[in-house]
């Protein structure tokens, strides 16, 4: 069986199907370390195909009746054991993920991976605490039951893959669905550790399966299988359209967490230093976050003051290795992605947008791009309208609240937004008017797992978080019993 050794840890890269590690791959794909681009790959991962997809769906279909028949309290047990195993392996998971995804090790270990454990605990507990809605009308008692829906396919992106997967898998399992997870091909390795932990946590075979491979191969075979009853996706709008079409063909509910082009709006009554610090923080991890606030919208009267603070904070960034504590900006994930990001910068400059900062590769042959700031010539510029997913921000000014809101709402995206203001009335007013699934005021990325999360426009479909995710993974059933007809 294929194994891989990363920072002294050796583990299997095989798929997990029906509780077994399966590795009869005729072909593989390489996993790279973005911090050492051009070096030998970290290793090879099996490249699943339609046959592997069918095996995984077979297993999830077989396991479904048993898992669905268990009570939420019974299902909670292996989920809590998995959470404990994750907590006990923070170093290990963070080291592997920092190696193939190049997010900062410390941040993964202290902040990101612990959230994965919390996701499994919180959703398992939430399903136990679910209170059926019951009401009486005329002669019947009405109850709303949450019925497990069936096997769910979960397709995830390459950024923060362990945590983002857990966020989607946990509600599916807690609701009584069986799961097939397909991690992204640019950062598949932490899912190999997850596979080990699923076995150790004692999930019944086939309840939680993981298959590796490319999106248009094994991914497509999974999402088009008519036995799958839920499709849950995080990634780009382009892929969402394909998966949504598969869902439409089979009449399968589909949820999509997609890209963003979030505004960071700075009013003239704001704490300018705090806002500038947060804006410069959008370069962390090379801006590879769907919620990165890439459009800086600043009141015209505070532009110069804001930029002075912003430049100072940006100058303090350290471009470096994911394992170096001093690093704030890790590289882009892949050479293809670097070319894509540089293409945006190049086209912006050629079209007449003004480059205020950066715009260049930091070191020849490697995947860092200097923190880049662009002043677009028009709000229609590509750099304003499309997601770059890199360390590239744009800055625009506005004259009043109405213009700030109009600019904020002028793209097709609508995942999140951040406002900086000291006025409660303005926070309430603008917070309501900005079109986004989440609006943070004077704060950022603070998330209560029970609150809904998702996007409007091309940023997504449906909501995750709390009851919203559990409802998505359930077939809600109304049970009506004629009163006094049974005893
Ligand atoms: P992507 O859409 O290219 O790939 C995502 C996943 O889809 C991968 O696992 C890929 O293998 C799979 N896939 C591709 N084609 C497929 C097909 N035809 N059928 C089934 N699966 C297929 O996205 P990416 O480049 O991995 O991730 C970056 C994108 O994800 C950005 O747009 C980012 O904003 C978004 N994202 C959104 C959130 C959120 O919560 N809203 C979080 C993280 C990332």
**Euclidean distance between CA atoms 382 and 181, whole angstroms:** 34
> Which residue's entry shows tokens 């470096």?
320
Predicted local confidence at residue 61, as pLDDT? 98
pLDDT under 50: residue ranges of the chain:
none
**Euclidean distance between CA atoms 49 and 63, whole angstroms:** 21
Answer left, alpha or beta for residue 435, where phi above 0 means left and psi between -120 and 50 means alpha.
beta
Q: Which atom of ligand 1 is nearest to the CA of 214?
A: 11
Nearest Cα neighbor of 190 from 268, 79, 112, 73 is 112
For residue 21, give both structure tokens: 């590690």
Cross-strand bridge partners of residue 181: 154, 210
**Euclidean distance between CA atoms 77 and 80, whole angstroms:** 5
Residue 315, number of CB atoms within 10 A of its CB = 10
Q: 281-300, pLDDT tens digit by residue?
A: 999 999 999 999 999 999 99
Predicted local confidence at residue 450, as pLDDT? 87
For residue 336, give both structure tokens: 């293809």
Predicted local confidence at residue 466, as pLDDT? 84
Task: Report whether residue 259 contacts ligand 1, using a CB cutoff of 6 Å.
Answer: yes
Minimum CA distance residue for ligand 1 atom 18: 216
Are 201 and 78 a contacting pair, CB within 8 Å? Answer: yes
DSSP for 220-280 reads HHHHT-TT--EEEEES-HHHHHHHHHHHHHHT--EEEE-----EEEE-TTS-HHHHHHHHH
**Euclidean distance between CA atoms 171 and 178, whole angstroms:** 11
Strand 354-357, strand 372-375: pairing: antiparallel
10 Å CB burial of residue 36 (0-12, 13-18, 19+) is middle
Q: From the CA of 108, how far away is ligand 1's center (Å)?
A: 20
Predicted local confidence at residue 132, as pLDDT? 87
Task: Report whether residue 290 contacts ligand 1, using a CB cutoff of 6 Å.
Answer: yes
**Euclidean distance between CA atoms 237 and 8, whole angstroms:** 37
Are 395 and 307 a contacting pair, CB within 8 Å? Answer: yes
Predicted local confidence at residue 1, as pLDDT? 73
**Euclidean distance between CA atoms 210 and 194, whole angstroms:** 9
**Euclidean distance between CA atoms 291 and 418, whole angstroms:** 10
For residue 476, give both structure tokens: 């809600």
10 Å CB burial of residue 96 (0-12, 13-18, 19+) is buried
> Which residue's entry shows tokens 């983002």?
164
Cross-strand bridge partners of residue 137: 140
Active site residues: 257, 290
Q: Which atom of ligand 1 is nearest to the CA of 337?
A: 25
Q: How far apart are the first and last CA of the chain?
A: 59
Residue 236, number of CB atoms within 10 A of its CB = 17
pTM over 0.85: yes
Task: Report whether residue 258 contacts ligand 1, using a CB cutoff of 6 Å.
Answer: yes
Q: 95-109, pLDDT tens digit by residue?
A: 999 999 999 999 999
Q: From the CA of 236, how far away is ligand 1's center (Å)?
A: 5
Q: Which atom of ligand 1 is nearest to the CA of 415?
A: 41
Task: Report whether residue 331 contacts ligand 1, using a CB cutoff of 6 Å.
Answer: no
């Amino acid at each position: 069986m294929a194994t891989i050794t990363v920072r002294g840890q050796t583990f299997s890269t095989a798929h997990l199907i029906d509780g077994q590690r399966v590795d009869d791959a005729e072909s593989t794909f390489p996993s790279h370390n973005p911090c050492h681009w051009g070096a030998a790959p970290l290793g090879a991962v099996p490249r699943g195909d339609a046959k592997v997809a069918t095996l995984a769906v077979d297993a999830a279909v077989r396991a479904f009746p048993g898992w669905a028949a268990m009570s939420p309290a019974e299902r909670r047990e292996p989920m809590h054991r998995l959470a404990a195993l994750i907590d006990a392996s923070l170093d290990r998971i963070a080291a592997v993920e920092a190696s193939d995804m190049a997010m900062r090790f410390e941040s993964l270990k202290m902040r990101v991976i612990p959230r994965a454990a919390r996701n499994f605990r919180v959703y398992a507990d939430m399903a136990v605490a679910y209170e059926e809605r019951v009401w009486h009308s005329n002669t019947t008692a009405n109850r709303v039951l949450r019925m497990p829906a069936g096997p769910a396919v979960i397709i995830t992106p390459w950024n923060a893959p362990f945590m983002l997967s857990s966020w989607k898998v946990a509600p599916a399992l807690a609701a009584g669905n069986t799961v097939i997870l397909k991690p992204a091909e640019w950062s598949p390795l932490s899912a190999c550790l997850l596979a080990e932990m699923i076995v150790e946590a004692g999930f019944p075979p086939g309840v939680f399966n993981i298959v590796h491979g490319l999106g248009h191969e094994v991914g497509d075979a999974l999402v088009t299988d008519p036995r799958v009853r839920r499709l849950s996706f995080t990634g780009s709008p382009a892929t969402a359209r394909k998966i949504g079409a598969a869902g439409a063909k089979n009449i399968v509910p589909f949820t999509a967490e997609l890209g963003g082009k979030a505004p960071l709006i700075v009013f003239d009554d704001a704490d300018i230093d705090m806002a500038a610090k947060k804006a410069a923080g959008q370069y962390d991890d090379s801006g590879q976050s769907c919620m990165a606030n890439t459009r800086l919208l600043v009141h015209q009267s505070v532009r110069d003051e804001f930029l002075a603070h912003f430049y100072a904070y940006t100058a303090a960034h350290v471009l470096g290795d994911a394992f170096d504590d001093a690093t704030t900006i890790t590289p882009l994930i892949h050479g293809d992605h670097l070319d894509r990001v540089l293409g945006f910068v190049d086209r912006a400059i050629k079209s007449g947008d003004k480059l205020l900062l950066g715009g260049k590769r930091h070191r020849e042959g490697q995947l860092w791009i200097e923190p880049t700031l662009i002043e677009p010539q028009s709000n229609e510029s590509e750099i304003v309208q499309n997601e770059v997913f890199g360390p590239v921000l744009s800055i625009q000014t506005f004259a009043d609240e109405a213009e700030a809101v109009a600019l904020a709402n002028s793209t097709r995206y609508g995942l999140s937004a951040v406002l900086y203001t000291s006025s409660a009335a303005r926070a309430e007013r603008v917070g309501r008017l900005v079109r986004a699934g989440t609006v943070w005021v004077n704060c950022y990325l603070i998330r209560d797992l029970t609150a809904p999360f998702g996007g409007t426009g091309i940023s997504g479909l449906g909501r995750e978080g709390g009851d919203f995710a559990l409802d998505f993974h359930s077939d809600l059933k109304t049970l009506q019993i004629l009163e006094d007809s049974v005893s």
